[in-house]
Amino acid sequence: MRQIWDIPGGIHPPENKTQSTGDAIANIPLPAEIVLPLNQHIGAPAIPCVAVGDKVLKGQVVAEAQGLVSAPIHASTSGTISAIEQRFIPHPSGMMSDCIVITPDGEDQWTTLHPVPDYKALDHAELVALIRQAGIAGMGGAGFPTAVKLNPRADRKVHTLILNGTECEPYITADDMLMRERADEVVAGTLLLAHILGTPETILIGIEDNKPEAIAAMQAAVDKHAQQSRGIAIDVVSFPTKYPSGGEKQLIQILTGKEVPSGQIPATIGIVVQNVGTAVATYRAVTFGEPLVSRITTVVGETLKQQRNIEVLIGTPVDHVLTLHGYQAEKKSRLIIGGPMMGFTVEHTNIPVVKTTNCILVPSNEEIPPTQPAQACIRCGMCAEACPANLLPQQLFWYSQAEDTEKLEQHNLFDCIECGACSYVCPSNIPLVQYYRASKGTIRQQELAKKQSDRARQRFEFRQERIAKAEAEKEAKRLARKKAAEEAKKKLAAQAGNEPEKNAATSSAAGSTTPVPKTPEQASTGATDTNQLPKLERALSSAKSREERAQQQLAEAKANGEDARIEPLSARLKQAELKVKEAEEKLKAYQQGENLPSSAVPEKLQQKLSLSPRQKAEKNIETLQKRIATAEEKLAEAEQANASTTDALRQGVEKLNQKLAEAQRELEATAEDGITAEKGAAAVDAPTMSAAEIAIAKAQAKAAAQASMSDDEKNQAQIASLQKRLDKARERLAKAEAENNDNIDAFRIGVEKLEAKLAEAQQPQTTP
């Protein structure tokens, strides 16, 4: 006898297994339709490869596996594809999912199969491929694609293969009946699995001691196999009945005394566990070429006239099964897919049997009465006594209620196998597992969110770094440039000695058409040139700060769960990002341009400078009109979106309009040239003018005054007015900030612009 180990905890719920073991495994008539969900396994759903109206044969692939952890789906009978649509599937959430619906033709005709009577002729990869193509997924309930499990990493030698015939859940007898009736196939499947895994030294078939018939049958089959002496020893091990000894980790502990490290798979410690049903399916898939199209399912519960195990086609609707077993709906308490401990209830009977459906349980109200209301946890510790994973369920419950995720993880919430033993024994009827599931869900979500924000932060930090680097480079370049400029100046000064006459000649030749002398022009272009860089940098940095702010706000909104704000904020962030990019590009372009000799100063600038006042004014009007158009567009947009910036935008439009008016007046003024001053003065005196006329007149007067001012005076006046405006804008910004107004951004932009303008205005004097 092999040594066996005990697991901590565990419970002994009423087994309720005899109801369904009286009859042999039966077959049932074909249903009116077969519904094949595309996702019956853990992993990516399969992709349909048939179309509505196609005729399919039993065993034909109707949906292909997608990726490594996935499984294909086969037609479980011959017929016509009548639909590919959303149907209810057996899932705890009661959700709908894509299904392929087949209308059977009643022939149940197989497609051509490719049996491999001697699997030893195939190599490992071919066998795994065969199993993958057969669409086999763990039949014990979890539904992990079997082929993946049979393909452990090369560096992990599997030394123990365990066949799980425990079936510790009450009511379920599918594996029990399978072992009783098809023991030879189980042994054959075991040998095949052993072969695929490179013949592990130890091969065990674990069965709870409440299934003496199954143990006897398996022992006989194993003995028979041993007589044929094929050289591989299989041990049938029985152990005391206790729930949940059939859990993969628990079974490993019982049979080997080892524990699977937390968060790892059994293959890490050289162990592979397969369900006995899976072994049979694998055997049939290889030897007879039959894909997984049917399974053994226990149909049990007091609302049924007949309780037994059936071999049922995958995709058979549950209501079809229930009707055939004399379902009395009036007695029902719930419909459970799986066992009473770990199964889940579904609200509809119009769901199909899938690859993992090991039990359909429809108990009566007396059999499984409705749950009692939960009382307070008295911390009696009975749950901890029952927990097979050695957790402290009462603490987990406590922290789950408090949503203390840190403590939950500290108490190893994720090692909970959701067996339900704790809930079962809890005298206060607390639905502990429900709390754990909920907490696990939230923690997973939080982790996902954290990962995303981490990534965002990394990206941000990376960018900051990049910017800092770029800045440093820029600084270096600027220094170099300055030096170069100085040298150039010196050279220029040296050349100046030869130049004057030429200069004078050109200026005199050009006459009145170019009133601006050339040297100042050069100087001024130089000035704008050097102005340009800090301006661009400023633009960039302000764009960046805006972007940061937007990011911050967005993060805040997300953290506070203000869904309504997230969308506009992310839109704003995107805009800000675009602006940053633009600014960066401009700066870069500028820097590149700067490396060119100074003679290559942008033509546009020169053009602008060489324009006559009239042309200038006209041009000014043109650009202003353009700007107004875009501003108005923006305003309309904002109004439509009901954005908070509407007001600011409106103000902008108004201002632009004013400017336009001003510019037009200026144009007029230039047209009338010298007389404007007198005319303006006279106009002010006129007593019969309307308000509008007064305004116009005032503006004209201003323009005239400006025109009559010397350049310097003009400049100073401009600076003063700019400063006034700036002060006002700053005030407004401060107020907005104090009130946490939504328009802060708009105000800030305004201030920045004004600052830039002011700096520009001041520049010519500081850099003569």
Tell me which residues in 210-239 interact with ligand SF4 (CB under 6 A).
Answer: none
Q: Rounded to the nearest whole angstrom, what is the least distance from the CB of residue 227 to ligand SF4 in the complex?
A: 42
Nearer to other proteins, 431 or 764 (CB): 431
- Residue 149 sits at the vertex; the CA angle it makes with 147 and 151, to the nearest 5 degrees, is 70
Are the CB atoms for 351 and 88 separated by under 8 Å? Answer: yes
Nearer to other proteins, 349 or 357 (CB): 349
Cα–Cα distance for residue pair 418/437, rounded to 1 Å: 8
607 binds, among other proteins, ligand SF4, none (CB under 5 to 8 A by kind): none
Are the CB atoms for 751 and 730 separated by under 8 Å? Answer: yes
Nearer to other proteins, 263 or 687 (CB): 263
Nearer to other proteins, 29 or 370 (CB): 370
The interface region with ligand SF4, picked from 158-166, 423-431, 510-518, 680-688 by CB under 6 A, is 423-431
Task: Please report, for residues 301, 309, 312, the alpha-carbon distance to residue 27 in angstroms, rounded to integers and kept in the order given.
Answer: 19, 9, 7
Interface residue with ligand SF4 among 419, 624, 631, 699 (CB under 6 A) is 419
* 315-317-320-324 Cα dihedral, nearest 10 degrees: 60
Q: What share of the chain is helix, strand, coil (3-state, %, to 5)?
A: 55, 10, 35
The interface region with other proteins, picked from 173-181, 256-264, 274-282, 583-591 by CB under 8 A, is 256-264
Q: What are phi and psi of 444, to 5 degrees?
A: -60, -45
Q: Rounded to the nearest whole angstrom, what is the least distance from the CB of residue 372 to ligand SF4 in the complex?
A: 12
Cα–Cα distance for residue pair 212/42, rounded to 1 Å: 33
Nearer to ligand SF4, 363 or 393 (CB): 393
Identify residue 245 by its one-letter amino acid code.
S
Q: Rounded to the nearest whole angstrom, what is the least distance from the CB of residue 170 to other proteins in the complex?
A: 7
Are the CB atoms for 422 and 413 separated by under 8 Å? Answer: no
Nearer to ligand SF4, 99 or 391 (CB): 391
Interface residue with ligand SF4 among 65, 102, 433, 587 (CB under 6 A) is 433
Q: What distance, in Å, lies between the first and last C-alpha atoms of the chain?
A: 104
Q: Should residue 198 be labelled a site residue for ligand SF4 when binding is judged by CB under 6 A?
A: no
The interface region with other proteins, picked from 220-228, 386-394, 553-561, 731-739 by CB under 8 A, is 386-394
Nearest to 653 by CA among 642, 668, 665, 639: 639
Per DSSP, helices labelled H in 228-365 are 248-256, 276-287, 318-324
Q: Rounded to the nearest whole angstrom, what is the least distance from the CB of residue 398 to ligand SF4 in the complex?
A: 9
Interface residue with ligand SF4 among 45, 135, 352, 420 (CB under 6 A) is 420
Nearer to other proteins, 2 or 348 (CB): 348
Q: What are phi and psi of 41, to 5 degrees?
A: -135, 175
Q: What are phi and psi of 309, to 5 degrees?
A: -105, 140
Nearer to ligand SF4, 74 or 249 (CB): 249
Give the DSSP H/E element, type plus range, for residue 496. helix 432-496
The interface region with ligand SF4, picked from 112-120, 371-379, 589-597, 741-749 by CB under 6 A, is 371-379
Residue 162: CB atoms within 10 A of its CB come to: 26
Are the CB atoms for 158 and 152 separated by under 8 Å? Answer: yes
Q: Rounded to the nearest whole angstrom, what is the least distance from the CB of residue 444 to ligand SF4 in the complex?
A: 16
Are the CB atoms for 285 and 132 separated by under 8 Å? Answer: no
Q: Rounded to the nearest whole angstrom, what is the least distance from the CB of residue 84 to ligand SF4 in the complex?
A: 38
Nearer to other proteins, 72 or 338 (CB): 338
Residue 379: CB atoms within 10 A of its CB come to: 14
Q: Should residue 424 be labelled a site residue for other proteins when binding is judged by CB under 8 A?
A: yes
The interface region with other proteins, picked from 57-65, 320-328, 362-370, 727-735 by CB under 8 A, is 362-370
Q: Should residue 428 be labelled a site residue for ligand SF4 when binding is judged by CB under 6 A?
A: yes
Interface residue with other proteins among 257, 381, 441, 520 (CB under 8 A) is 381
Contacts of 107 (CB under 8 A, 6+ apart): 78
Residues 144-183 that bind other proteins (CB under 8 A): 170
Cα–Cα distance for residue pair 561/8, rounded to 1 Å: 43
Q: Should residue 341 be labelled a site residue for ligand SF4 when binding is judged by CB under 6 A?
A: no
Residues 399-418 that bind other proteins (CB under 8 A): 410-412, 415, 418
Query: Is 205 in a helix, a strand, or coil?
Result: strand
Are the CB atoms for 309 and 25 separated by under 8 Å? Answer: yes
397 binds, among ligand SF4, other proteins, none (CB under 5 to 8 A by kind): ligand SF4
Residue 601: CB atoms within 10 A of its CB come to: 18
Q: Rounded to the nearest whole angstrom, what is the least distance from the CB of residue 10 to ligand SF4 in the complex?
A: 9
Q: Should residue 254 be labelled a site residue for other proteins when binding is judged by CB under 8 A?
A: no
Identify residue 277 by its one-letter amino acid code.
G
Q: Rounded to the nearest whole angstrom, what is the least distance from the CB of residue 7 to ligand SF4 in the complex?
A: 11
Q: Rounded to the nearest whole angstrom, what is the least distance from the CB of residue 94 to ligand SF4 in the complex?
A: 22
Cα–Cα distance for residue pair 357/292, rounded to 1 Å: 13
Handedness of CA 44, 50, 55, 56 (dihedral sign): negative
Cα–Cα distance for residue pair 693/699, rounded to 1 Å: 10
Identify residue 473 by its one-letter amino acid code.
E
Contacts of 390 (CB under 8 A, 6+ apart): 8, 9
Nearer to other proteins, 326 or 427 (CB): 427
What is the x/- site pattern for other proteins, positions 329-348, by CB under 8 A?
A: ---xxxxx-x-xxxxxxxxx
Residues 629-648 that bind other proteins (CB under 8 A): none
Query: Is 6 in a helix, a strand, or coil?
Result: coil
Query: Is 102 in a helix, a strand, or coil?
Result: strand
Nearer to other proteins, 164 or 620 (CB): 164
The interface region with other proteins, picked from 374-382, 668-676, 679-687, 759-767 by CB under 8 A, is 374-382
Nearest to 250 by CA among 435, 174, 239, 384: 239
Partnered with residue 26 across adjacent β-strands are: 310
Q: Rounded to the nearest whole angstrom, what is the least distance from the CB of residue 360 to other proteins in the complex?
A: 12
Partnered with residue 648 across adjacent β-strands are: none
322 binds, among other proteins, ligand SF4, none (CB under 5 to 8 A by kind): none
Are the CB atoms for 38 and 99 separated by under 8 Å? Answer: yes
Cα–Cα distance for residue pair 565/568, rounded to 1 Å: 6
Nearest to 295 by CA among 40, 114, 62: 40
Cα of 643 vs its chain's centroid, Å? 28
The interface region with other proteins, picked from 80-88, 254-262, 621-629, 652-660 by CB under 8 A, is 254-262
Nearer to ligand SF4, 203 or 260 (CB): 260
Are the CB atoms for 767 and 527 separated by under 8 Å? Answer: yes
Residues 374-403 that bind ligand SF4 (CB under 6 A): 377-383, 386-389, 391, 393-394, 397
Count interface residues toward ligand SF4 (CB under 6 A). 29
412 binds, among other proteins, ligand SF4, none (CB under 5 to 8 A by kind): other proteins
Residues 11-30 that bind other proteins (CB under 8 A): 11, 13-14
Q: Rounded to the nearest whole angstrom, what is the least distance from the CB of residue 565 to ligand SF4 in the complex?
A: 39
What is the x/- site pattern for ligand SF4, positions 630-669, by CB under 6 A?
A: ----------------------------------------
Nearer to other proteins, 317 or 338 (CB): 338
Cα–Cα distance for residue pair 572/357, rounded to 1 Å: 50
> Rule CB under 6 A: which residues touch ligand SF4?
377-383, 386-389, 391, 393-394, 397, 416-422, 425-428, 430, 432-433
